[in-house]
Amino acid sequence: MRIVALVPGKIGDQILFFPTLDNLKRVYPDAQIDVVVEPGSKAAYRVCKSVTDAIAFDFKDRNSLADWGNLIGLLRDREYDIAISPQSQFLLNLLLWLTGIPTRVGYKGNGSFFLTDTVLLKSQQQPAARYHDLLQGLAKNSPVSPLNINVPSSDITWSEKEQQRLGINESGYVAFYDSQSPDVNSTYPVTFWRQIVQSLQEKQPNIPVVVIKDASNELFVKSMLAFFPNLKVIFPADMGKLAATIASANLLICTDSAPMYLALAVQTYTVALVETSLQQSDRFVVVTSPTGKIADISPQSIMQCIWGQ
């Protein structure tokens, strides 16, 4: 059996879709499960245990008819038995119909008459539960699987060597991350980050503080190093190494980003700075902006979550 899921969206959307993929694999253990995702989100599937192949397609690009035709041809050639679309989009439902895949599952709504099986979209649910409802279209009613990822052993080894390089001992470390996105509503001011790091270093001087660096936040890391020259920097090159880095941390402080969702999966204690409310747990503390802008979260409210005062 061959199954394909069309999953537009960012890396966080992919990670929240993992439990649905894991349940599919549990129900159809011999099936090949593939996904079609944005090019920038393909990296997430390095840590997904249930997917055979991740096919890159830029859903947000101004694709020509030839681009869509190539995707339809590829899906036809692979002769999938089941297709799942976790987006209620007319165009994607039409695309699935054109592929000729016999079982096409999605939400009731835009273009759902192109599908063979539909389920009600419960927008008030958390994303992982909402995605899981799609399995009802296959007459499968298993409970939602826990969010889980598979970190390659080579990435765990890399993380251990990085900790040795940075001189981190068994005390562990506190990690923090901000993508410094061009979207001003999604980033946190450097001056506020400095207050948080200073508080961490003053109250727990024996626990190293590590900033996670990637291609998007080089200037942010540079500005933090200018204020804290002894700050430790780690640069995970892929999703597996990033997951291993987060799994080893005692605490992660971050904005809404791929590290935040990975922390959910590996159950690292996390303080997340977000624009709108997310489901909390005893290991995942959400600090919500009162205005919808991350910059309006006070450093004091974050430090209160960390220190409990």
What span, in angstroms and rounded, lies between the C-alpha atoms of 144 and 138? 15
Tokens at 7, concatenated: 């999953």
More reliable by pLDDT, 236 or 291: 236
Whether the predicted pLDDT of 309 surpasses 60 = no
pLDDT at residue 114 in the model: 96
pLDDT at residue 282 in the model: 81
Contact 133, 122 (CB under 8 A): yes
Which of these ranges, 26-30, 31-35, 168-172, 254-258, has the smallest mean pLDDT?
168-172
Share of the chain above pLDDT 70, in %: 96
How many other CB atoms sit within 10 Å of the CB of residue 166? 13
Helix (H, G, I), strand (E, B) or coil at 110: coil
> Which residue shows structure tokens 């298993």?
142
| 2-138, CATH topology level | Rossmann fold (3.40.50)
For 66-90, how does the pLDDT look when each residue is reduced to its tens digit (9 = 90+)? Answer: 999 999 999 999 999 999 999 888 9
Tokens at 122, concatenated: 């419960």
Whether the predicted pLDDT of 289 surpasses 90 = no
Whether the predicted pLDDT of 276 surpasses 70 = no
Contact 102, 74 (CB under 8 A): no
Pick from 284, 286, 260: which is nearest to 13 by CA?
260
Using alpha carbons, list the distances in angstroms from residue 278 to 271, 284, 288, 289: 12, 9, 8, 12
Across 24-39, average pLDDT = 95
pLDDT at residue 288 in the model: 86
CATH number for 153-307 (one of 3.40.50.720, 3.10.20.740, 3.40.50.2000, 3.60.20.30): it is 3.40.50.2000
pLDDT at residue 277 in the model: 61
Is residue 44 very low, low, confident or very high in pLDDT (cuts 50, 70, 90)?
Answer: very high
Contact 176, 253 (CB under 8 A): yes
pLDDT at residue 283 in the model: 86
Is residue 65 very low, low, confident or very high in pLDDT (cuts 50, 70, 90)?
Answer: confident
Whether the predicted pLDDT of 265 surpasses 70 = yes
Across 258-282, average pLDDT = 86
Tokens at 191, concatenated: 């001056």
pLDDT at residue 170 in the model: 79
Pick from 24, 16, 19: which is nearest to 41 by CA?
16
Helix (H, G, I), strand (E, B) or coil at 272: strand
More reliable by pLDDT, 119 or 282: 119
Instruction: Enumerate the CATH 3.40.50.2000 domain ranges in the chain, comma separated.
Output: 2-138, 153-307
- Alpha-carbon radius of gyration of the chain: 21
pLDDT at residue 184 in the model: 58
For 174-203, how does the pLDDT look when each residue is reduced to its tens digit (9 = 90+)? Answer: 999 998 776 656 789 999 999 999 999 999
Across 29-52, average pLDDT = 95
- DSSP string across 13-74: HHHHHHHHHHHHHHHSTT-EEEEEE-GGGGGGGGG-SS-SEEEE--TTS---HHHHHHHHHH
